Amino acid sequence: KNEVEQSPQNLTAQEGEFITINCSYSVGISALHWLQQHPGGGIVSLFMLSSGKKKHGRLIATINIQEKHSSLHITASHPRDSAVYICAGGNNDMRFGAGTRLTVKP
C-alpha cells in the first residue's frame, strides 16, 4: 500500500464543474505539496501547505493534519485544467501519490 493515496485515479468533468481530488497519507509529514503535470511531462508546483487552506485563483487546497487528509478543489473547471494532479509529502524523504488524471470536456 502506497504511503500517499489519491482518489479518484481518473476523473472526467464537464467545463464549469467543481472538482475535488483527495489525498490521504500515512506518513508523518511537515508539508504537503500539490503538483500539476501536463501531458508533455512538465511539473508545476501548485501548493505547499502544512495547515489550513490556501487559495490561488480557481484552485483551493486544504489540509487536515489530524485526519492526515488533503483536498484540492478546482472551481469553474476549464479544459486547460486537464492534467495529472499529484500530491506529495514527507519529512526527510518525499513520498508521492500515483496521481489523479483529470479531463475537463468543453
Partner 1 sequence: ETGVTQTPRHLVMGMTNKKSLKCEQHLGHNAMYWYKQSAKKPLELMFVYSLEERVENNSVPSRFSPECPNSSHLFLHLHTLQPEDSALYLCASSQELAPSFYNEQFFGPGTRLTVL
Residue from 10, 14, 50, 64 touching partner 1 (CB under 8 A): that is 50
Burial of 6: CB neighbours in 10 Å, binned 0-12, 13-18, 19+: buried
Residue from 17, 22, 31, 71 touching partner 1 (CB under 8 A): that is 31
Residue nearer to partner 1 on the CB measure, 67 or 93: 93
Residue from 30, 39, 56, 57 touching partner 1 (CB under 8 A): that is 30
Sequence-separated (6 or more) residues with CB below 8 Å from residue 27? 3, 4, 89, 90, 91, 95
Residue nearer to partner 1 on the CB measure, 77 or 83: 83
Coil, strand or helix at 15 = coil
Residue pair 58/74 in contact (Cβ under 8 Å)? The answer is yes
Residues in contact with partner 1 by CB under 8 A are: 2, 4, 29-31, 33, 35, 40-45, 48, 50, 86, 88, 90-99
